[in-house]
């Protein structure tokens, strides 16, 4: 059985720990002489559980509200095509929860302070907020079954901590399909920090099912995390100090991606491609393509980086 889930940003736990929403508890003062701002946090026409949020209403409609229910922050923009696919699905699923969660839609172009607070690198970015803090996040459009599983998992985990979930009568997760024991064993190995065993497990699945896309994606993620855990904390500084060391540049790009700096990671490797030749150029290009796959080829940051890579190659 497959076990779909949203593609989370690399090191999503580190991302959540790094996000500080305290600056948004007090909205920015409007320029002197400006007209009064429009009312913020008004329910959208879709449902009272789907609201448009700006900087003025962020404290009330995200931070304060998340003390009672799960708040899903949808960071989007009018020009973002994947946003047009993802937002309606999120609206539908949140409405079905009947008040256990609220979807807070944030136009990042109109509200740059909110995007900055969440350290948004690409859109759409979806952040789950509970008790005033981000608890999970992912980027990019996702299919409905994957989103439903993600929401259900969050609600189950937070049911005893957010009173509004139980009050809304949000249904518990339906009887799950039987788990594939091969995936369970690999995921248990990851939880135990045994990346070698997890890698072997996913490789064994692919040896029998070479077209198993879930195993292939999981293998790429585990290999990436295994590499990152072996890197020194100051690898980025070391690479900046010695731009001629190709291995350091690759390692620094891995660390930047793990910490959520997609653009920085891609730019570093594109510059490496630009100034190297032969086997070194080919290796840098291949490393960059592997990072593209981890983020997702439809991600706007990846699309832009692919264009820059083409320019660097030709």
Instruction: Measure the CA–CA gap between 253 and 247, rounded to whole angstroms.
Output: 10
Residue 202: closest CA among 212, 193, 194, 192: 212
d(CA 296, CA 301): 9
Beta-bridge partners for 104? 51, 73
Phi and psi for 10 in degrees, rounded to 5?
-55, 135
Structural contact between residues 74 and 86, judged by C-beta atoms closer than 8 angstroms:
yes
How far apart are the C-alpha atoms of 49 and 31, rounded to whole Å? Answer: 31
* Ramachandran class of 33: left when φ > 0, alpha when ψ lies in -120 to 50, beta otherwise: left
Q: How many CB atoms lie within 10 A of CB 217?
A: 17
SS3 129: strand
Is 243 within 8 Å of 280 (Cβ atoms)?
Answer: no
Residues with catalytic annotation? 80, 83
Handedness of CA 201, 202, 205, 206 (dihedral sign): negative
* Spatial distance between the Cα atoms of 108 and 75, rounded to a whole number of angstroms: 6
Q: How far apart are CA 118 and CA 288, in angstroms?
A: 25
Element (H, E) at 69: none
Going by the DSSP 8-state scheme, the letter that residue 305 receives in this structure is: H
């Amino acid at each position: 059985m497959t076990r779909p889930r949203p593609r989370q940003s690399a090191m999503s736990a580190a991302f959540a720990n790094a996000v500080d929403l305290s600056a948004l508890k007090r909205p920015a003062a409007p320029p002197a002489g400006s007209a009064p701002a429009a009312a913020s946090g008004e329910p959208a026409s879709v449902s009272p559980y789907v609201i448009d949020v700006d900087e003025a209403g962020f404290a009330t409609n995200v931070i304060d509200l998340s003390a009672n229910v799960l708040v899903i922050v949808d960071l989007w923009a009018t020009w973002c095509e994947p946003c047009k696919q993802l937002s309606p699905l999120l609206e539908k699923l949140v409405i079905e929860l009947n008040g256990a969660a609220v979807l807070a839609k944030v136009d990042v172009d109109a509200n740059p302070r909110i995007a900055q607070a969440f350290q948004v690198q690409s859109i759409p970015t979806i952040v789950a907020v509970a008790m005033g803090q981000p608890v999970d996040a992912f980027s990019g459009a996702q299919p409905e079954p994957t989103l439903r599983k993600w929401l259900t998992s969050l609600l189950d985990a937070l049911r005893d901590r957010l009173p509004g979930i139980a009050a809304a009568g949000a249904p518990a997760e339906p009887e799950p399909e039987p788990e594939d024991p091969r995936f369970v064993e690999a995921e248990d190995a990851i939880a135990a920090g045994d990346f070698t065993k997890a890698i072997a497990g996913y490789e064994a699945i692919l040896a029998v099912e070479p077209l198993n896309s879930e195993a292939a994606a999981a293998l790429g993620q585990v290999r990436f995390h295994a590499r990152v855990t072996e890197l020194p904390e100051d690898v980025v500084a070391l690479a900046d100090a010695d731009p001629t060391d190709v291995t350091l540049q690759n390692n620094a790009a891995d660390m930047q991606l793990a910490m959520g700096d997609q653009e920085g990671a891609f730019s570093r490797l594109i510059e490496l491609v630009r100034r190297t030749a032969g086997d070194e150029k080919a290796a840098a290009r291949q490393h960059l393509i592997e990072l593209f796959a981890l983020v997702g080829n439809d991600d706007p940051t990846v699309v832009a980086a692919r264009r820059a890579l083409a320019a660097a190659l030709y």
